[in-house]
A and B are shown apart, each in its own frame.
Chain A
């Protein structure tokens, strides 16, 4: 199995890809001295992307101060970071909305899971006044379990064995993934994001979101996504065959200052959050 996955990573044709315009925009947007007009021009090279940016910019979720009619207006009204987030959201939708066959999660549920983890992680970061960029938190939340899409492709062949073993298995679900695939979905996700030349913090989140105590460079960011993921799973959104086997890390709670009362509040807010992201889900 491991060899097959290694082959997949070597043969890029089979891997989910980023469009060249999106890669270019990501690279440009990350530079502090980027010129808005240049960025707008690059985005406008892709008509589909342009339409998506304008549509999403006007959604209730992003609440622009005035209606947005062009990419340039969108960049000026919402800011470069938010437009970057919109572009990534639009680009990854096709990947994250895929059915996770082996995991028994349908496409819509996985998409809802990704978006709601992103939204909740952002809310936790804001509410706990953490010094991390909220747009980065959103993106990190959105992409945290993208590796499942890769492993999911390989599940059908080993599924029966995997299920049988899972029945009597009390340990960590990811250990079982490693046994069957040679990789955990966290490792696969980190590899994919590395292929895409994504920033280090997003790679670390994908790699350690189930074990935040192992995060070296961005422990706050990883912890926030970890906590959001646990709460969303308790709410049943995007819950897979591994069920609720990811223990909530005491270290993550300590790093972020999230209390028992906070956890209760976040959980109780899930339906309102799901409503808030409704427009993003339907895109």
Chain B
């Protein structure tokens, strides 16, 4: 149950938000991915809602960096620095990246999710940020809520909901 004083921070599409305990950060994902960073000692965290792996036009990402994984993820790292967290103090979790129903008539729409997931993983690997939990792919949307008091995540998907407690 949510305490009334708890602030809910919604992350829109192509958006990054951050906060501290006891706030909750929430977003809903289709083919987009939600990258979650949480620092369990300081009880702060940030979430990116990313639409595409990279900007094929090469022009849009300068204006809308949070839309694309390759420009949004460095910003997410920066956000954690602003919250006073150096690398090693926070860990990553990854959600979303669903794909359209099989037999889709558009390879673009079909593949967005997988591409998003693989680019995000490459980034985490390269930056040596530990990926603790992932819940990606499939055909269902996901709503994730990050509870900053202990870092747990409430995942709603396909009519079910469950808590994920692993934060380090």
Chain A residues with a Cβ under 8 A of chain B: 104, 109, 159, 162-163, 166-167, 230-231, 233-237, 239-241, 243-250, 253, 260, 263-264, 267-268, 270-271, 274
The distance from the CB of A250 to the nearest CB of chain B, in whole angstroms, is 5
Pick the contact of A166 from B32, B143, B159 — CB < 8 Å? Answer: B159
Bound together, the chains give a CA A234 to CA B28 distance in angstroms of 11
Q: Are B141 and A243 in contact (CB under 8 A)?
A: yes
Cβ < 8 Å to A, chain B residues 16-75:
27-32, 51-52, 56, 60, 64, 67
Chain B residues with a Cβ under 8 A of chain A: 12-15, 27-32, 51-52, 56, 60, 64, 67, 96, 98-109, 112, 138-141, 143, 156, 158-160
**CB-CB < 8 A to B30: which residues of A?**
233-237, 239, 244
Given the contacts A167-B158, A243-B139, A234 and B12 also touching, CB distance less than 8 Å: no
Pick the contact of B12 from A104, A162, A249, A271 — CB < 8 Å? Answer: A271
Pick the contact of A241 from B13, B29, B138, B159 — CB < 8 Å? Answer: B159
**CB-CB < 8 A to A166: which residues of B?**
158-159
**CB-CB < 8 A to A247: which residues of B?**
100-105
**CB-CB < 8 A to B14: which residues of A?**
270-271
The distance from the CB of B55 to the nearest CB of chain A, in whole angstroms, is 9
Query: 15 interchain pairs (CB within 8 A)?
Result: A104-B156, A159-B159, A234-B112, A236-B30, A237-B28, A241-B140, A244-B30, A244-B98, A248-B100, A248-B106, A248-B109, A249-B105, A271-B12, A271-B64, A274-B12
Chain B interface, DSSP helix/strand/loop, else mixed: loop
Q: Quick one: closest B residue to A271, CB to CB?
A: B14
**CB-CB < 8 A to B52: which residues of A?**
267-268
Bound together, the chains give a CA A99 to CA B5 distance in angstroms of 22
Q: Are A271 and B160 in contact (CB under 8 A)?
A: no
Q: Are B158 and A267 in contact (CB under 8 A)?
A: no
Q: Are A236 and B100 in contact (CB under 8 A)?
A: no
Bound together, the chains give a CA A230 to CA B104 distance in angstroms of 11
The distance from the CB of B14 to the nearest CB of chain A, in whole angstroms, is 4
Q: Are A245 and B139 in contact (CB under 8 A)?
A: yes
